Structure 1
Amino acid sequence: MYMISSILKEVLSYQSKVQVINTRWYSIILLVIFLPVGFIRQIKYLVPFCPLASIFVLFSVLVVLYNNIQDLPPLSSRQHMGSVTDIPSFFFGVLFALQTTFVFLPLRTSVKYNKHYRQCPGVLCISISIIAFMYIIFGFFGYLKYGENTNAVNLFNLNHNGLSETIKIFIILSVLLSYNFQLIGAMDVVWNNIEHKFSAKYKTLLYYVIKDLLIVSTVIIVSFSLNLFPLLSLVGSLTLSTLCVILPLIIETITFWDITLGRWNWKLYKNILLTIISFVLTTVACVKSFSKIIEKY
């Protein structure tokens, strides 16, 4: 939401040649647009919009990539290695970026041919591989071209012209068309735990109320945050290290404790080692994120 608000502000500012309002107000404008989208509940009504959103994103990606590979400076002009203390933040930043593919998981129980999720390579494996490859390509050529001036949002590196403003509009439309899919996971967690507490008469109404509250909450977070990137780095360090690394290791250890932990208990020692490494990386990343937040605010 923060990125889309910033993009919308850039587009309107370019067209009007003056920055009229703060980014927070653009978030409010988007709220008016996104709230009606939240009333679409059935996935089958959302699916037709996905190819259109994908086309918008694909066109934008190709344009940005083409721009990034033009007039590249030599590799020797860029610093090849960053600071060691930035590695944990980078590690959890990558996890945070890849977690966007997890929106596919709640869809598994809602689609007709869910066996494609279990195949190898399946939907999740292929999507993560494609996204990881895109991040590598964009990160490499983006840094090679712009160096330390590389913006966290690659679109903002583009020069202001008709084409760049068009693809920014395409990105806004793609998010609008696919935003409802991002709410499916959160709604499944919330609704499945409280649905039984309400009578059938009010369930539909309450479902939409809760869904719209989730949308409003994202806008509130954006409105009270001048820059979300340090905050996202902190959230990624705390939550993803726990959910994606530490908890799976603990669950595996508990599950196989009475069955088998492998020869010489190698699974136990492996999980202990990975947990310690994850804890150290999390601590360093959190300290780094906190320092950036303090510096920013």
Structure 2
Amino acid sequence: SSTEYELSRRKRVPRLTYPETIEAAFELGPGNFGRFKRLAGQICYVYMILLEFGGDCVYAIFIAENVKAICDHRYGAHSLRWYQTWLMIPLILICWIKNLKYLAPGSTLGTGCAVGCFGVIYYFIFSQPIALEGRKAVGSFREFALFFGTALFAMGAFGIVVPLKNKMTNPKRFGGTFGVVNATMIPNMTMYVLMGFFGYLAYGNFTQSSITLNLPQTGAIGDVIRILMAGSIFTTYPLCNYVVTDMVWHKWMKLKFGNNKHLDKWEYVFRTCLCFTNYLCCIAIPNLELFMSLSGSLCLPALGIFFPIIIHTLTFWHSYTGWRFFFFLFRAALIVALGLFAFLVSFSTTVYEIVTSIFLAEDNHV
């Protein structure tokens, strides 16, 4: 955030979006980096769109998996793709809502329901025998690679974090020990760790990609929790869709149509096509765990490691001399190298698992 604040000060603007921040870093950076500013901004833009689109896919698969768990033992087993096909219709309809003020109450209610569900899920977790016997202390290299992508996906909020500081009444409260970032991220991270740790101790190798799938398949309580969690994500789904629509339609495609009198209708067509593309991706990879890892490993190393270190390096290039400049470059190169290694390992492992799961599914149908 200090880098974004410094670039905003140099350009004398109140705030910068993430793509604008990287463009400013290239523009004000050393040498001929300025000629690449537009390309850098566009690449950042594409990664942000992919991240939000991937989030939509994960949400759609999560909803379908929980609906499947509710309905299968009542109405007979159907494939996950069957449920995704039927759920596409309500997802398209809710994404037709254009105004955020109509989406916000539902999202707020859904968040409240999710928080309440967490308490019940913890009750089910601790009602199981919590034991270390039969639990692997350290996973395999493959499992760690998949976890890395999933963990990155869980922490992706780059579309709103960068400009947040300059929109605050007191920007100094953004960072620091008790700042806004720590006040929001530490509780979230704690909840992730506790849910994952105790969930694994309770269910062991039978732990599902979503903890809601480990709840009892019979009985009302488990189904109510799955319904509430699916409903919570259902109300959140159009928010990711809204971000992609804003980035692609309002800031690019809408300008191509000019003063077309059917502009509103074309926006509905775009929103529908976006949902349908999302549906096709979910049909191609109907696996919640792998899709989270794919989205995280593909987008977050760039948005969370490569771009920030590039922005920081270009912004403060002239702030160091002598051995401090050497250490400055060495640190940047080391971070990029570690990030590149993590990206290659996590992304390649995820792609391999996806291809393997597709071929296994085909073999099972032969």
Shorter-chain TM-score tier:
0.7 to 0.9
Q: Does the aligned pair in 2 maintain the 1:53–1:173 contact within 8 Å?
A: yes
For structure 1, which runs of at least 5 residues remain unmatched after alignment? none
Identity %: 25
TM-score, normalised via structure 1 length: 0.87
1:58/1:223 CA distance change after superposition, 3 Å: same
Show the counterpart of 1:182: 240
Show the counterpart of 2:348: 287
Show the counterpart of 2:37: none
For structure 2, which runs of at least 5 residues remain unmatched after alignment? 1-59, 359-366
1:268 equivalent to 2:329? Answer yes
* Bigger mean CA offset, 262-271 vs 281-290: 262-271
Q: Does the aligned pair in 1 maintain the 2:61–2:282 contact within 8 Å?
A: yes
* Bigger mean CA offset, 53-62 vs 87-96: 87-96
Show the counterpart of 1:198: 257
1:117/1:62 CA distance change after superposition, 3 Å: farther
Kindly state the Cα deviation for residue 85 of structure 1 after the two structures are TM-superposed. 5.0
Show the counterpart of 1:32: 89
1:170, 1:92 → 2: CA distance?
26
Q: Does the aligned pair in 2 maintain the 1:116–1:122 contact within 8 Å?
A: no
Show the counterpart of 2:205: 148
1:256, 1:103 → 2: CA distance?
23
Q: Does the aligned pair in 2 maintain the 1:98–1:131 contact within 8 Å?
A: no
Matches of residues 188-267 of structure 1 in structure 2 within 5 Å?
Answer: 188-191=246-249, 192-200=251-259, 201-260=261-320, 264-265=324-325, 266-267=327-328
* Bigger mean CA offset, 80-89 vs 145-154: 80-89
TM-score, normalised via structure 2 length: 0.71
Q: Does the aligned pair in 1 maintain the 2:199–2:211 contact within 8 Å?
A: yes
SS at match of 1:159: coil
Letter in 1 for 2:264: T
1:294/1:208 CA distance change after superposition, 3 Å: closer
Q: Does the aligned pair in 1 maintain the 2:285–2:354 contact within 8 Å?
A: no
Provide the aligned length of Structure 1 versus Structure 2: 291
1:8 aligned to which of 35, 55, 67? 67
Cα offsets for 1:80-107 (capped at 9, x unmatched): 12224543432232111122x4565599
1:196/1:262 CA distance change after superposition, 3 Å: farther
Letter in 2 for 1:115: M
1:72, 1:269 → 2: CA distance?
49
- Superposition RMSD in Å: 2.7
* Bigger mean CA offset, 27-36 vs 206-215: 206-215
Matches of residues 99-178 of structure 1 in structure 2 within 5 Å?
Answer: 99=156, 101-102=157-158, 104=160, 114-115=167-168, 118=171, 119-120=173-174, 125-160=182-217, 161-178=219-236
Letter in 2 for 1:240: L
Runs of 4+ in 1 over 6 A off after TM superposition: 106-109
* Bigger mean CA offset, 83-92 vs 137-146: 83-92
1:59 aligned to which of 116, 120, 134? 116
Q: Does the aligned pair in 2 maintain the 1:230–1:293 contact within 8 Å?
A: yes
2:274, 2:185 → 1: CA distance?
26
1:23/1:83 CA distance change after superposition, 3 Å: closer
1:46 equivalent to 2:99? Answer no
Letter in 1 for 2:191: M
1:57/1:106 CA distance change after superposition, 3 Å: farther
